[in-house]
Amino acid sequence: MLRIVLLAGIYFVANILAEYPVCDNSEADIALEELIHENVDRLMELRRPGWGWVNTPEVVLSLQLSAAKKFFAVNETIATMDQEVQDEFDSSCIGKKALYVMAVKATCGNPRNFAGFDLVENLRNSIGTQFRYLRRRQESPSHGWYNYGLAIQALCLCNIEIPRSHIVNIIRGQDASGGFGNRKSVVDDTSQVLLALACIKDQSLPTRRRPLMTKLKTAIDKAVGFLQTSRNNELDDFWIGNKFSSPAALLALKETTDLSQSSSWFCNDIARSVSNGLWEDEPEATVAHRLPAMRGRSVLALKDGWTCLDPDSIPEGYQPQYNPEKTLDCSTLLESNGIFSFFLPSIEVQLSVKKTLGSNNSTPYDYTVLVEVEKGFTLLETMAKARCNNQFEFAVQSSSFGSFVTSVDSLEAVASQRQFWSLLDAQTGDFLSVGIDQYKPSHRDHILFKLSVY
Ligand SMILES: *[C@@H]1O[C@H](CO)[C@@H](O)[C@H](O)[C@H]1NC(C)=O
Ligand SMILES: *[C@@H]1O[C@H](CO)[C@@H](O)[C@H](O)[C@H]1NC(C)=O
């Protein structure tokens, strides 16, 4: 008895003292390894019938960095990437191009010759036009700092010398707080630029002038400062920025700070919050971002001596089959109204639409419908049910962060005019905290679809 108590005590203490690889370069312990596997399982649930994902290169990169052994059927996915590159590489933004370059490198392919393309040369040509007005200070690259940071990382990892003009532009683009962002500094953009700077700093090129390198080191220190002061806590959780921006920030700090000091900025607490973050029905992108931070391995690991492993074989009975659109057709939705629905409680949800911009308190919405669905339906399924009843019309687009509404009642949000459809709790006026494919309405919920501008 005493022995059990003692052992439990030791386990408890060990658990409290558990360190995270991203904070001290240790190996993942058993508990963390278990959490990593749960995240990998979620990505495998989200695998599409063609063995890819919504954002295939992002998931490939994530799995190769964090759990390559568990990435079964990697060759099938590489074949899918080959097709995707032929179809869409040329028209992709620089961030997506960079993800393909790094994903090919992470699977030990040759990004200079993949699917008949020299991906590296193509990306190198596309970064040339990112800054149009070289003299203006604090200008943002045309695809944004996040994508630009990814592009510089990818080129740097392929041993391309980053032109001096780009380093100068990055230093000029940093704002007084030390961060990067389009109109104001944000953690997501800053983390990607910081990782890019860390990679450039380690390129030992004889052509680099010392004054420029000194400025670059200063820029790194300032960006580190921005991230460390962006720490937040929310109940028991610690974040850098928020839950979604924390994984990349942890990795950027790991590559640029002295890890023996990591406790001073609560690295372990942040890493613990990140590692415990998986929730039910979580979309692809948030899982893919979290995994490398849990393993403590950034893309800079691809630089030298990266090797690939043969993964485990495909689990018996596994079929990649994630297809969110399938559950939305009327035959599937009405089928669930059959005999079994007798046992399932049904709930009533109100959907309202406001199509005119600007506030007009006299008409909080243009029209409203009531729809009855089974308890447990997502908001997206609820909307689809209303559509089957000819009550409501909408279109959605899927992204790696889940589905989002592009039009309601044939009225499309015009992206070039910064319009979007916001989804609000009509009673409180608050934005819904999760996307339409995760939000599960309760009885008498009232959801407002409101055309808005950002
Ligand atoms: C995957 O492809 C690589 C390279 O073509 C090959 O060496 C490896 O054996 C393949 N693995 C499987 C499981 O087919
Ligand atoms: C508000 O809505 C009412 C009813 O549709 C309309 O008559 C009025 O002109 C609107 N006011 C504004 C400021 O849009």
Which carries the bigger pLDDT value, residue 438 or residue 78? 78
Residue type, 258: D
Residue 335 has pLDDT above 70, yes or no: no
Which of 362, 450, 451 has most ligand 2 atoms within 8 Å of its beta carbon, as the pocket-test mutant?
362
For residue 360, give the ligand 2 atom closest to its CA: 1
Confidence (pLDDT) at 136: 59
Residue 5 has pLDDT above 50, yes or no: no
Residue 314 has pLDDT above 60, yes or no: yes
Confidence (pLDDT) at 219: 98
For ligand 1, the distance from its centroid to the CA atom of residue 372, given in whole angstroms, is: 50
What would the mean pLDDT of 166-176 be, rounded to a whole number?
Answer: 93
Q: How far apart are CA 42 and CA 69, in angstroms?
A: 16
Which carries the bigger pLDDT value, residue 348 or residue 325? 348
If DSSP codes are grouped into helix, strand and coil, which group holds residue 371? Answer: strand
Question: Does the C-beta of 363 come closer than 6 Å to ligand 2?
Answer: yes
Residue 1 has pLDDT above 70, yes or no: no
Q: Which ligand is nearest to the CA of 357?
A: 2
Confidence (pLDDT) at 203: 86
Which carries the bigger pLDDT value, residue 406 or residue 136? 406
pTM of the model: 0.85
Q: How far apart are CA 156 and CA 102, in angstroms?
A: 11
Going by DSSP bridges, is the β-strand pair 446-453/346-354 parallel, antiparallel, or unpaired? parallel
**2: confidence class by pLDDT, cuts 50, 70, 90:** very low
Q: What is the pLDDT of residues 180-204, one digit of tens each?
A: 998 889 999 999 999 999 999 998 7
**362: confidence class by pLDDT, cuts 50, 70, 90:** low
Question: Does the C-beta of 417 come closer than 6 Å to ligand 2?
Answer: no
Confidence (pLDDT) at 347: 92
Q: Which DSSP helix (H) or strand (E) runs through 106?
A: helix 94-106
For ligand 1, the distance from its centroid to the CA atom of residue 75, given in whole angstroms, is: 6
Q: What is the pLDDT of residues 262-303, one digit of tens each?
A: 999 999 999 999 999 898 888 999 999 999 999 999 999 999
* Residue 20, phi-psi category: left (phi > 0), alpha (psi -120 to 50), beta (remainder): beta
Topology of domain 2-302 in CATH is: Glycosyltransferase (1.50.10)
**Residue 294, exposed/middle/buried by CB under 10 A (0-12, 13-18, 19+)?**
buried
- Worst-scoring range by mean pLDDT, 111-120, 322-331, 369-378? 322-331
Question: Does the C-beta of 360 come closer than 6 Å to ligand 2?
Answer: yes
For ligand 1, the distance from its centroid to the CA atom of residue 310, given in whole angstroms, is: 8
For residue 358, give the ligand 2 atom closest to its CA: 14
Question: Does the C-beta of 362 come closer than 6 Å to ligand 2?
Answer: yes
For residue 363, give the ligand 2 atom closest to its CA: 2
**380: confidence class by pLDDT, cuts 50, 70, 90:** very high
For ligand 1, the distance from its centroid to the CA atom of residue 76, given in whole angstroms, is: 10
For ligand 2, the distance from its centroid to the CA atom of residue 360, given in whole angstroms, is: 6
**18: confidence class by pLDDT, cuts 50, 70, 90:** low
Residue ranges of E strands in 300-366: 346-354
For ligand 2, the distance from its centroid to the CA atom of residue 430, given in whole angstroms, is: 23
What would the mean pLDDT of 373-381 be, rounded to a whole number?
Answer: 91
Residue type, 403: S
Which of 355, 356, 363, 367 has most ligand 2 atoms within 8 Å of its beta carbon, as the pocket-test mutant?
363
For ligand 2, the distance from its centroid to the CA atom of residue 423, given in whole angstroms, is: 21
Question: Does the C-beta of 321 come closer than 6 Å to ligand 2?
Answer: no
Q: How far apart are CA 450 and CA 211, in angstroms?
A: 52
Contacts 24+ apart (CB under 8 A), 305-311: 306/105, 306/106, 306/108, 307/108, 308/64, 308/68, 308/107, 308/108, 309/68, 309/69, 311/68, 311/69, 311/70, 311/71, 311/72, 311/73, 311/74
For residue 356, give the ligand 2 atom closest to its CA: 14
For ligand 1, the distance from its centroid to the CA atom of residue 302, given in whole angstroms, is: 20
Confidence (pLDDT) at 104: 98
- Worst-scoring range by mean pLDDT, 13-27, 252-266, 371-385? 13-27
Give the residue extent of every domain in the chain: 2-302, 326-453
Residue 163 has pLDDT above 60, yes or no: yes
**360: confidence class by pLDDT, cuts 50, 70, 90:** low
For ligand 1, the distance from its centroid to the CA atom of residue 448, given in whole angstroms, is: 51
Confidence (pLDDT) at 245: 97
Looking at every residue in the chain, the average pLDDT score rounds to 90
Which carries the bigger pLDDT value, residue 10 or residue 31? 31
Q: Which residue's alpha carbon is nearest to atom 14 within ligand 2?
A: 360
Q: Which residue's alpha carbon is nearest to atom 13 within ligand 2?
A: 360
Which of 360, 361, 366 has most ligand 2 atoms within 8 Å of its beta carbon, as the pocket-test mutant?
360
Q: What is the CATH number of domain 326-453?
A: 2.170.130.30
Question: Which of 157, 154, 155, 147 has its CA nearest to residue 180?
Answer: 147
